[in-house]
Structure 1
Amino acid sequence: MAEATTTPSGTNFQVSAKIRQHEVLLDEPEDKGGGDTAPTPAEFVCASLAACTTITLQMYIQHKGWEASVKSVNVVYETVDGVGTFRRTVALAGYTQEQLPRLTAVANSCPIHKMLSKANPIDTEVN
């Protein structure tokens, strides 16, 4: 289970998110009325997918004892005609061509990839 709670910080559109013992800020850019003091919620979603992909690949590579390594993972989210798409680019080093299909499958099996690529109902309670 994952959980986060946000509260307004007192600055226009800036919120503080409490995640376990960690606190992080989220904000909107100035052109949207925010102060551009922190990443946007959508940017945090992209960062979550990139981080999860990186960690999942690192765990798998370490478990296998391969020489491969993750150089970077970039995620961009774009909406075209009302349809959102995540575009993920994984830069690896030291892998063999035989390892590439398995590394791709591992990237696609990270928990955040699974969460985002499936329809997830959202139950909302307002009180």
Structure 2
Amino acid sequence: MKLHTRCGRTINVTRFAPEELPARMGRVVLDTSFSTHVEDELWASLTAEEARRLAGLVLYQAAAVDPEPRPVPGVVEVVPVVGDAYEIRVRGHALTVDQPLSDGGKDTAPTPVELFVAAVASCTAHYAGRFLDRHGVGRDGLSVRARFRMANDRPARVASLTLTVVAPELPPEKVAALRAVAAHCTVSNSLTRPPETELRVIHSSMDGARGPLET
């Protein structure tokens, strides 16, 4: 997997994970090509877009050399990265959230609220895609667009959410069925019937042991 930068470099992102070695010894390899007059300089200048692309390639290869994660259903962990950016860890996968510049963040990733809306939209798309599969219709052209508006009063919350499903051409009698299926995805159901939520605060010691501060 190669990234060609505007500064004239080519960064090849590969992995080194020989089968005869333990999985933990796998490595992600970044190989940067050099022009003849700068062959002794180990650098590459990246635009913001190139940096995001490179980060994606590195994460993709990291997942390939990572030992098989032990699935822990129903568990999500969030840890600080820098500033208002946080890493979300889900079964060996990693996502990042941040805040926009207008709210003091660096806008390096979507906000938690945007991920919430994205969860609704992507779950809707999943259900719509499965509906199309069951009825022998291809997913080409399928998309889901979500528009949301924040409330003007307190508490802070999403006040309205509009989902638009763009689907391949369907017989008229199938449209209503698709709408019914997509409207009752797991995330949407969790909004109409909210889960019981409990918030606990615990402290962590330097050795990783945890104990309750508040119940």
Q: Same fold (TM over 0.5)?
A: yes
Which ranges in structure 1 are unaligned for 5 or more consecutive residues?
Answer: none
My pick for the range that moved more, 77-86 or 20-29, is: 77-86
CA–CA distance in structure 1, aligned partners of residues 111 and 195 of structure 2:
21
Q: Which structure 2 residues correspond to residues 1-127 of structure 1 after superposition, within 5 A? A: 2-9=74-81, 11-66=82-137, 71-82=142-153, 84-127=159-202
Rate the CA distance shift 1:52–1:32 in 2: closer, same or farther, 3 A: same
Give the TM-score of the pair, scaled to structure 2: 0.54
Q: Of the two structures, which has the highest relative contact order with CA contacts closer than 8 Å and spacing of 6 or more? A: 1
CA–CA distance in structure 1, aligned partners of residues 137 and 100 of structure 2:
42
Percent of residue pairs identical: 25
SS in 1 for 2:194: coil
Give 1:43 deviation, angstroms.
0.7
Whether contact under 8 Å (1:58, 1:69) holds in the other structure is no
CA–CA distance in structure 2, aligned partners of residues 105 and 21 of structure 1:
33
Give 1:70 deviation, angstroms.
5.3
Rate the CA distance shift 1:70–1:111 in 2: closer, same or farther, 3 A: farther
CA–CA distance in structure 2, aligned partners of residues 70 and 92 of structure 1:
6
Give the TM-score of the pair, scaled to structure 1: 0.88
Which amino acid is the alignment partner of residue 135 of structure 2? K
CA–CA distance in structure 2, aligned partners of residues 92 and 2 of structure 1:
31
CA–CA distance in structure 1, aligned partners of residues 141 and 122 of structure 2:
11
Give CA deviations for 1:67-97 in whole Å, capped at 9, x if unaligned: 6755210112213454722111111121121
Give 1:109 deviation, angstroms.
1.5
CA–CA distance in structure 2, aligned partners of residues 46 and 72 of structure 1:
15
Deviation beyond 6 Å, 4+ runs, structure 1: none
SS in 1 for 2:102: helix
Tell me which structure has the larger Cα radius of gyration: 2
CA RMSD, 1 decimal:
1.9
Which amino acid is the alignment partner of residue 79 of structure 2? T
Whether contact under 8 Å (1:49, 1:112) holds in the other structure is yes
Which ranges in structure 2 are unaligned for 5 or more consecutive residues?
Answer: 1-72, 203-215
